[in-house]
Structure formats: C-alpha cells, structure tokens
Amino acid sequence: MRIRYHQPIPNFYNFENPTSPLNSISDVFLNELKQFILDNGFIGVSYSKLSDDFKKEWDIDWDNILILKYVMSDEIIKMNPSKEKTKLEDMEFQEFAHKTFEIADFLRKNNFKADLIHPLDDRVSLRSIAMQSNDCIITRSNMCMFKEGLNLGFFMIDTSIENFPFKKENDMLWVKDFCSTCGVCIDRCPENAFDDDEKIKRKVCTAHKEGCSKCVLLCPFFKRGYDKVKRRYDRKN
C-alpha cells in the first residue's frame, strides 16, 4: 500500500468523452490549449508517449500523456513541518486537481478524449510516466525534477492526441553526475530517511505526516534554480 500524501480527489468532470475522439491536434489548437493551461495557473506542460513495453510492464492502455506542472507555493514549502503545513499543501493540490478537470473538460469539448490519471491510483507510478517525457529527472533526493524547478507538483491527463511534440532525448541526465558529487539532501536529512542504497524509507520520511521539505530547501536546484546550477556545472566540466 502506497503512503498517501493527499486526500482523495472528487470527480469534477462536467462533460463526457466524445464518442469518436480526434487523435491529431493542430498547431493552432495546441497553442490555444497551452494558453488555457497557463491561464489556469500552471507553469508549463510536458508530454509523455508511452511505449508498448512500458504499457505492458504497468498493465495499462494509455498512450499520450499531457503533464500539467504547477509551482508549489514557496511560502508553504518554507514553513516548518506541522499538520497545518500538510493541510495547506493538500489544499493547493486539490485546487490544481480541480483545474486539471477543467482542462480535461476543455479537451473533451473540443472532441478529444481526456481522462485525469488519478494521482492516488496505485496501479501506476506517475513518476515513471513523467520520466517517459524525457523532460525531467529523478534526483538523488528521490524527487522528480523538471527544469522549471524542484518544487513542482504535476497532474496528468491521458488523451487521444497522438501528435504532441514528444521529446526524443533527455538532456537532464547530467543531474545524476552532479548529484553524485553533492549528497546534501542525504547527509542533512533529520530523520535519516535514506537506506544504504539511498532509497527513501517512506515510513521514516516525515514529508507526508508533517510536510518536511528540508531536502528540497537545502538542494542547490531549489536555492539557485536549474539554469544556474547547469551553467556552473558546464563551466567545471
């Protein structure tokens, strides 16, 4: 049983999926969709194309995934761990969940199939789906990091759209090398929540119970941002 970081999300759909969904999006409508997503407070989008092997491994039949990324509030993330903090984190999560349903409805109204991939669904790892986007990386602190920052949350929509601009290569793999020379997150974790193989011990980590964010706050990617860390890394290598 996976550890829950959030309360269940109610179903907010107002429209049904179309009976004969379109599977191709025009450049014009893709731009309109991206604008609609930004207008709803998300910071950007990524796209994952799931391979047959991936789908077989996870026993799913989704192909074309739209990833909606939002910045988690700096103010909340910097709060000391407390029940109040986890409550605020969940409120922010629920707000963006609601917006994700609106974006799915926007797609449905425009004749595309669109279903929220439920973040609390135990059948599949959203991080594994995110990694198929070639637009993020799993850090040594076990966070799924996109270039927009370490403090991102994301939702996903399974769509009928087969021609999203899927990235073919991941240009963030250098982060693994950078992390191998850092290790601050592991050294300074107040709960010693990483095992000998640096896997996070979910039952020990207090992020879900009290909203600990220390490994995020200490990370150079949070403090300086992805681009600055990358520039410094490039100068040294």
Residues that bind ligand SF4 (CB under 6 A): 139-141, 178-179, 182-185, 189, 191, 193, 200, 205-207, 212, 214-215, 218-221
User: Which CB atom, from 117 or from 130, has the smaller least distance to ligand SF4?
Assistant: 130
- As to burial, measured by CB atoms within 10 angstroms (0-12 exposed, 13-18 middle, 19+ buried), residue 196 is exposed
User: What's the closest the beta carbon of residue 169 comes to ligand SF4, in angstroms?
Assistant: 21
User: What's the closest the beta carbon of residue 27 comes to ligand SF4, in angstroms?
Assistant: 36
Write the CB contacts of 120 (distance below 8 Å, at least 6 apart in sequence): 4, 6, 8, 9
Q: What's the rounded Cα separation, in Å, for the pair 232 and 16?
A: 49
User: Which CB atom, from 48 or from 141, has the smaller least distance to ligand SF4?
Assistant: 141
Asked if 1 and 123 count as a contact pair (C-beta separation under 8 A), the reply is: no
User: What's the closest the beta carbon of residue 38 comes to ligand SF4, in angstroms?
Assistant: 27
User: Which CB atom, from 22 or from 218, has the smaller least distance to ligand SF4?
Assistant: 218
CA 205 to chain centre: 19
User: Which CB atom, from 65 or from 179, has the smaller least distance to ligand SF4?
Assistant: 179
Print the SS3 string covering 156-176: EEEECCCCCCCCCCCCCCHHH
Q: Supply 37's token pair.
A: 């997503």
User: What's the closest the beta carbon of residue 159 comes to ligand SF4, in angstroms?
Assistant: 31
User: Which CB atom, from 21 or from 81, has the smaller least distance to ligand SF4?
Assistant: 81
User: What's the closest the beta carbon of residue 30 comes to ligand SF4, in angstroms?
Assistant: 32
What would you report as the CA-atom Rg of the chain, rounded to the nearest whole angstrom? 18
